[in-house]
Amino acid sequence: MKSASKLDYVELYAEKLKKDNSLFVQQKKLIEAQLKSSSDLTRKRFSKDFKVNVRKYLRAIELLK
């Protein structure tokens, strides 16, 4: 039996979305929840002097020189 590639799953999901719009609504809710939690986490971590604190963090993990 041939294993399915990642692209096969994407195509299958796209076909399911065409047939059942509730999947789109569910996916949208999931994405919005992830955006909100990321935003809240970022705001709490770097609240004051956002740019300065983010730069310090990026330097600490060596993503910025």
Inform me whether the pLDDT recorded for 2 exceeds 80.
no
Q: How far is CA 5 from CA 12, 23, 36, 51, 58, in A?
A: 11, 21, 31, 41, 35
pLDDT tens digits, 3-47:
667 778 888 888 888 888 888 888 899 999 999 999 898 888 888
pLDDT at site 17: 84
Residue 1 has pLDDT above 60, yes or no: no
pLDDT of residue 3: 67
Residue 59 or 42, more confident:
59
Domain residue spans in the chain? 6-60
